[in-house]
Structure 1
Amino acid sequence: MASRRVACPAESQPPPGIHWGPDAGTELVTKEGLRADGRVVDEIRPMYVKEGVVSRANGSAYLEMRQTKVICAVYGPRDVGRREEFSMKGKLSCDFSFLPFACRQRRVPGHDAEHKDISSRLVQTFESVVCLDRFPKSQVDICVNVLQDDGSAFSAAVTCASAALADAGVEMFDIVTGCSAKIHDNNILLDPTLDEELHVDNEVGQNQSSGLLHFALMPSRNEVAYISLQGEVDADGLVEATRACSDGCIRVHEVVRQSLVQSVSLKHKHNYKTVT
């Protein structure tokens, strides 16, 4: 039986009431010092972290910051194929992707340049965090999927992947956490939303700064695991933004630490009941 095509309209309109991007000319911070979602400039969104959400993975974690939602699964360490070059240090592999429904506009399934770029940045971050010399001739695979993106997706991926690695029992120097900042004129907005990240300054003077900073920190060792900047920011503004992101990473680290302690406690109680 021949298939029959369903006729579709030549033109389509987005549903009413859906906001597709920041309005041109809008201010990120009001005169009262509040942002569009009611936060002050140095306030991060409430965070929820849960480990052990993927049963078939060696370790996994789910992270939610209001409308930004990320899930991560860790597999390994596993033996590297014989065709790989011999190395006494382990290897890291990262697969980052936005799911098709994660963004405001549907993404084409598959890996594009942005996915590969963020995957490479995650590998660069965790190569300085994971104790690679503890599992020679082996590889750890990190799979990160963004379920919903409302800004700070890379920082959320760093934190979620760190919690998943800890849940898998992979040895690390410290639990690395991520934080982003939108630098807008004299304001530094921690944990920016997607509208704040996409905000374009129509008129940027010579004494004004505008950029987006991504930052990852190992708080216990006070070491920077990753830092990148997009935009034009003067030296003083960059130093101030780095300090603000460092403080944000320390606050996020405490949330992840408490979640890991609770997860280990629940596993211990479950194992104790199973044995008895």
Structure 2
Amino acid sequence: MPTDNRRNQGPESSTPYLLYVNCKEKEYTDYVADIVSKDGTRKDGRKWDEQRRIYMKTGIISQAKGSAYIEQGNTKVVCSVFDPRETPRKSEYSVNGELYCEFKYAPFSCKVRRGHQSDAEEKEYSLILRRALEPAVCRHEFPNFQVDVYALVLENDGSGLPAAITCAGLALADASVPMYDLVTATSLGIHGDLKFIDPCVEETSLCNTSPREGNKNHGIITVAYSPMHQQICEFVQYGMMNMDCITSSISLLTKACENIHPLSQQCLVKSVTKALMKKKKTEARLDMSSDRIGC
């Protein structure tokens, strides 16, 4: 496999020493007990339907037309959006514009080092990111043009994909791309009778395994939602679940997305207010300088 000599990367087969700190293999019951306590709270003290604290900010990358940064617990994602450009390698005229989305894990973001080239999981997440954003963007406003969206996970502690979708929607709005609504997303982990809103890495690993007894439902559901139109933009499900489990999970996910939506709006309003104040100060400074020249 060809390597990129311009970057100093570690060996492809290397693993961090943290994986070998606790070498004793736990029993299944002990593993579940470490994640969910007897009183129903999770390892970080949250309830099963409680999300992690979210921090958002726009205008992070000065070279991009629009950018956003989100912290969802220990999961950190930065997104950048660039000016529309003519769609490459396309001879026919297109009425609607296109979105080019790229989802990438930083090499240092996961416990096992990621390579520089995109793997199958990142390519799949890039496609999901594009499908989640397309219903919210007024693509007819820039026909035959393409908007580039890049999402980079700086630290992965679970739910990196929904965090990237929320961050990308905020970055598109910061780039003044015409949109119908801000898209928000969240995930739900299911392991038997246990359900985890906004699961972390350990909870995601548990939900990807089948329960030993009882209810065999397990997996991860990710939903991208437009609260203003009450429309699901994208639905992704991994694992094995019956229809009743999926139906009850959708209502939980849409409610969680509606709780994130006001945070995105407040962050965008704060960014616009700050830009207007900066513009007023610049205009006042120019007026003062012109008055001095006139005198």
**Partners of 1:242 and 1:229 in 2: CA distance:** 11
Q: Which residue of 2 aligns with 1:233?
A: 241
Task: Give CA deviations for 1:99-120 in whole Å, capped at 9, x if unaligned.
Answer: 1001011111111111111111
Quote how far apart the aligned CAs of 1:242 are.
Answer: 1.0
Tell me whether 1:90 sits opposite 2:97 in the alignment.
yes
Instruction: Give yes or no for contact 2:192–2:214 (8 Å, CA) kept in 1.
Output: no
Structure 2 counterparts to residues 1-276 of structure 1, below 5 A: 14-15=17-18, 25=28, 26-27=31-32, 28-81=35-88, 83-199=90-206, 200-201=208-209, 203-205=211-213, 207-276=215-284
Instruction: Give yes or no for contact 1:79–1:137 (8 Å, CA) kept in 2.
Output: yes
Identity of aligned residues (%): 35
The residue identity in structure 2 corresponding to 1:266 is K
What's the Cα RMSD here? 2.1
Instruction: Give yes or no for contact 1:213–1:227 (8 Å, CA) kept in 2.
Output: yes
Instruction: Give yes or no for contact 2:218–2:239 (8 Å, CA) kept in 1.
Output: yes
SS at match of 1:198: helix
Inter-CA distance 23–129: structure 2 relative to 1 (3 Å threshold): farther
SS at match of 1:180: strand
SS at match of 1:86: coil
Instruction: Give yes or no for contact 1:175–1:218 (8 Å, CA) kept in 2.
Output: yes
**Partners of 1:137 and 1:202 in 2: CA distance:** 46
Query: Any gaps of 5 or more consecutive residues in structure 2?
Result: 1-13, 285-295
Inter-CA distance 247–13: structure 2 relative to 1 (3 Å threshold): closer
Task: Give CA deviations for 1:215-250 in whole Å, capped at 9, x if unaligned.
Answer: 110001100001111111122211121111111101
Inter-CA distance 13–224: structure 2 relative to 1 (3 Å threshold): closer
Inter-CA distance 214–24: structure 2 relative to 1 (3 Å threshold): farther
The residue identity in structure 1 corresponding to 2:37 is T
**Partners of 2:164 and 2:133 in 1: CA distance:** 11
The residue identity in structure 1 corresponding to 2:147 is V
In our comparison, the structure showing a higher alpha carbon Rg is 2
Instruction: Give yes or no for contact 1:183–1:241 (8 Å, CA) kept in 2.
Output: no
Pairs aligned (count):
265
**Partners of 1:136 and 1:103 in 2: CA distance:** 38
SS at match of 1:76: coil
Quote how far apart the aligned CAs of 1:54 are.
Answer: 0.5
**Partners of 1:163 and 1:229 in 2: CA distance:** 24
The residue identity in structure 2 corresponding to 1:125 is A
SS at match of 2:125: helix
The residue identity in structure 2 corresponding to 1:133 is H
Structure (1 or 2) with the greater helix fraction:
2
Inter-CA distance 241–12: structure 2 relative to 1 (3 Å threshold): closer
Query: 1 or 2 for the larger relative contact order (CA 8 Å, sep ≥6)?
Result: 1
**Partners of 2:78 and 2:88 in 1: CA distance:** 27
**Partners of 1:128 and 1:18 in 2: CA distance:** 46
Instruction: Give yes or no for contact 2:192–2:211 (8 Å, CA) kept in 1.
Output: no
Q: Which residue of 2 aligns with 1:4?
A: none
Quote how far apart the aligned CAs of 1:79 are.
Answer: 2.5
- After the TM superposition, which of the residue ranges 75-84 and 226-235 deviates more from structure 2? 75-84
Report the TM-score when normalising by structure 2. 0.84
**Partners of 1:98 and 1:44 in 2: CA distance:** 22
